[in-house]
Amino acid sequence: MKAVITDLDRTLLKSDKSVSEKTVSVLKKIQEKGIKVMFATARPRRAITNYEKLLNPDAIATLNGARTFINGTSIDYNIPRESVRKMLSDFIKIPGSVISIETSKGIYSNVDIPEWEPVVTDCFPEIPEDCGSVFKILVSNENEDLNQHINSIVTDDCYFTVALGTLFQIMSKTATKVNGVKAMLDAFKIEKEDAVYFGDDNDDIEPLKWCGTGVAVKNAISEVSCVANETTLSNDEDGVALWLEKNC
State the Cα–Cα distance between residues 237 and 138, nearest whole angstrom.
30
State the Cα–Cα distance between residues 194 and 190, nearest whole angstrom.
7
The reported pLDDT for the residue numbered 125 is 97
195 strand-pairing partners:
3
Beta strand ranges found along 146-226 (DSSP E):
158-163, 167-172, 195-199, 213-217
Computed from CA positions of residues 131, 135, 141, 146, in that sequence, does the dihedral angle turn out positive or negative?
A: positive
Asked if residue 68 lies in contact with residue 45, where contact means CB atoms within 8 angstroms, the answer is no
Predicted confidence (pLDDT) per residue in 135-190, tens digit? 999 999 998 999 999 999 999 999 998 887 789 999 999 999 999 999 999 999 99
Residues 6+ apart with CB under 8 A from 114: none
The whole-model pTM stands at 0.89
Task: Give pLDDT < 50 ranges for the chain.
Answer: none
231 strand-pairing partners:
216
SS3 120: strand
The reported pLDDT for the residue numbered 164 is 77
The reported pLDDT for the residue numbered 129 is 87
The reported pLDDT for the residue numbered 134 is 97
The reported pLDDT for the residue numbered 200 is 97
The reported pLDDT for the residue numbered 163 is 83
The reported pLDDT for the residue numbered 38 is 98
The full DSSP string for 48-111 is: SHHHHHHH--SEEEEGGGTEEEETTEEEE-PPPHHHHHHHHHHHTTSTT-EEEEEETTEEEESS
